[in-house]
Amino acid sequence: MDQRKRKRMESNRESARRSRMRKQKHLDDLVGQITELKKDNNQILTSINFTTHRYLNIEAENSVLRAQMTELSQRLDSLNDILLYLNREGIEYTTDCFTNPFNVPYLHQQPPIMASAHIFQN
């Protein structure tokens, strides 16, 4: 009977040892998964930061482009108003008038005489 008891004790010890080994292997696997997940998490955070930086740069560029578009639209509206006025008044013009401002007819007239400020002092 002692022999049977001893054999059972050895069997139980061996079973407990295998159980501890399985638990340790499972724990090691979980630690490995944690390491991999942390690495993946860092890569995702880096990617998010890079994408956010690019997004902010593109958003700033879009803002500048929107402002330029607004300014150019206003300039186009003003030029269209000028053309409408010129057409309504029957004034003849050429594109040379606009591309070469020194060729505008009123610039060839005699400049007005200006009085100096010291003439009006006592």
Average pLDDT over residues 5-34: 96
How far apart CA 66 and CA 79 sit, in angstroms, is 20
pTM higher than 0.85 for the full model?
Answer: no
Task: Characterise 90 by phi-psi region: left (phi > 0), alpha (psi -120 to 50), beta (else).
Answer: left
Q: How far apart are CA 56 and CA 60, in angstroms?
A: 6
If you count them, how many residues does the chain have? 122
How sure is the predictor about 12, in pLDDT bands with cuts at 50, 70 and 90? very high
- Average pLDDT taken over every residue of the chain: 86
As a whole number of angstroms, the distance between CA 102 and CA 108 comes to 9
pLDDT recorded at residue 118 = 58
